[in-house]
């Protein structure tokens, strides 16, 4: 399957909150060809637990139904570790390992990351909300 977008945690939060930025995410989801990395599922689970959001099961089922879940494999993991350090060195930015996993996943799928996370702002291959 060919993918156009990889949705990150920020994108899904905006989508489920129904914000204006979430409307852009909605268009991506409706277009199809979206993927969600497993690290995003973990981050979302954390957000829902922290905010005591009772809709986790419903929203997770929607994510699974509407997007392809992409597991973290050895290839992505190895490249993500290298990418994190390269981006930190080049941009002098706080760029985390989860961000690197999401970006590497998108690159492996030849897709764009959909996000509003400022850590991605200066990077290419981003649909910035």
Q: What is the CATH number of the domain that holds 27?
A: 3.40.50.1010
Supply 67's token pair: 């997007």
Any domain includes 127: no
Alpha-carbon distance of 79 to 73, in angstroms, equals: 10
Any domain includes 87: yes
List the one residue out of 42, 38, 41, 112 whose CA is nearest residue 76: 38
The residue range of the domain holding 72 is 5-122
Q: pTM value?
A: 0.95
List the one residue out of 116, 58, 70, 107 whose CA is nearest residue 87: 107
Any domain includes 128: no
Any domain includes 15: yes
The whole-number pLDDT of residue 8 equals: 98
Q: In a structure prediction context, what are the per-residue pLDDT tens digits for the chain, which is 129 residues long?
A: 799 999 999 999 999 999 999 999 999 999 999 999 999 999 999 999 999 999 999 999 999 999 999 999 999 999 999 999 999 999 887 899 999 999 999 999 999 999 999 999 889 999 999
Q: Strand, helix or coil at 15?
A: helix
Is the CB of residue 128 less than 8 Å from the CB of residue 116? yes
Count of structural domains, the chain: 1
Any domain includes 129: no
The whole-number pLDDT of residue 117 equals: 95
Report helix angle 56-66 to 38-50, nearest 10: 160
Alpha-carbon distance of 36 to 45, in angstroms, equals: 13
């Amino acid at each position: 399957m060919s993918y156009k977008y990889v949705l990150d945690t920020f994108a899904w939060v905006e989508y489920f909150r129904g914000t204006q930025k979430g409307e852009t995410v909605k268009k991506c989801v409706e277009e199809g060809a979206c993927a969600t990395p497993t690290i995003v599922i973990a981050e979302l689970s954390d957000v829902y637990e922290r905010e005591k959001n009772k809709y986790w099961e419903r929203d997770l089922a929607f994510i699974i139904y509407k997007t392809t879940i992409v597991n973290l494999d050895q290839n992505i993991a190895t490249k993500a570790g290298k990418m994190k350090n390269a981006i930190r060195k080049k941009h002098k930015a706080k760029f985390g390992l989860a961000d690197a996993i999401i970006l590497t996943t998108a690159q492996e799928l030849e897709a764009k990351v959909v996000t509003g996370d400022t850590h991605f702002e200066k990077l290419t291959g981003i649909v910035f909300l």
